[in-house]
Chains A and B, each alone.
Chain A
Amino acid sequence: DAKTTQPTSMDCAEGRAANLPCNHSTISGNEYVYWYRQIHSQGPQYIIHGLKNNETNEMASLIITEDRKSSTLILPHATLRDTAVYYCIVRVYRDDKIIFGKGTRLHILP
């Protein structure tokens, strides 16, 4: 089973920040949090990952709570092209088995 839980779907207005939550209450100390997104009928695309500290790259920011039991992916200025399914997974440093949940379907509204 997936180690993360995410809302099934979310809406966000174009130009606003999209905040996607992920719960990983059973995360262990050596597990990273990864985010991917999948646009219809394509392979998932890596967005960002982190262990403890907040991370930012050109695509998004990742905020991890101090107890590491949850995280939030932030798309700062959502566009229609950000409409996709977003997956949050946890993975140990050298984990063999990488399991995905059902993700969050994000709709960007014009």
Chain B
Amino acid sequence: DGGITQSPKYLFRKEGQNVTLSCEQNLNHDAMYWYRQDPGQGLRLIYYSQIVNDFQKGDIAEGYSVSREKKESFPLTVTSAQKNPTAFYLCASTHGTGNSPLHFGNGTRLTVT
């Protein structure tokens, strides 16, 4: 079945450590997105990528980094510079053309202590 896989579902890290969240899609989608969600809040855009080897900052990119070396993969690194990294992280993808909807993964819940 086609879809988006985020792993792991739960992730625990110590403060000061970088951590990378995985996002893989087999939908042959061109565009991929990372969102952050805090309790009781909506989704905030971190980074997005329309094509391989290219990506743009969203509204809250500080303290995060991404790469897009393959069409199907868009990993997110939460660096030690991110002041409040504990959150629910969601990855999504969509075709770059046409009026196609976003498809979301089931998220990674990151806890930093």
Q: Provide the B84-113 mask, 1 if CB < 8 A to any CB of A, else 0.
A: 000010101010111101111111010000
B42 sits at the interface (CB 8 A): yes
Instruction: Give the A interface residue count (CB, 8 A).
Output: 23
Within 74-88 of A, Cβ neighbours of B (below 8 Å) are at 87
With a cutoff of 8 Å between Cβ atoms, the chain B residues found around residue A93 in the complex are 98-99
Q: Which of B42, B59, B96, B109 has the most CB of A within 10 A?
A: B42
Q: Is the CB of B35 within 8 A of A100?
A: yes
The A/B interface has a contact count, at CB < 8 Å, of: 62
Contacts of B33 on A, CB cut-off 8 Å?
A: 98
Quick one: closest A residue to B96, CB to CB?
A94
Secondary structure dominating the interface of B: strand
Q: Which A residues lie within 8 Å of B103 (CB)? A: 46
Interface of A is mostly: loop
B residues within 8 A CB of A101?
A: 42
Taken together as a complex, chains A and B put the C-alpha atoms of A94 and B43 apart, in Å, by: 20
B-contact bits for A45-82, CB 8 A (1 contact / 0 none): 11001010000000000000000000000000000000
Looking at A11-19, A20-28, A35-43, the stretch in contact with chain B turns out to be: A35-43
- A43 lies within 8 A of B45 (CB): no
Which 3 pairs between the two chains have the least Cβ-Cβ distance?
Answer: A43-B104, A102-B42, A46-B101
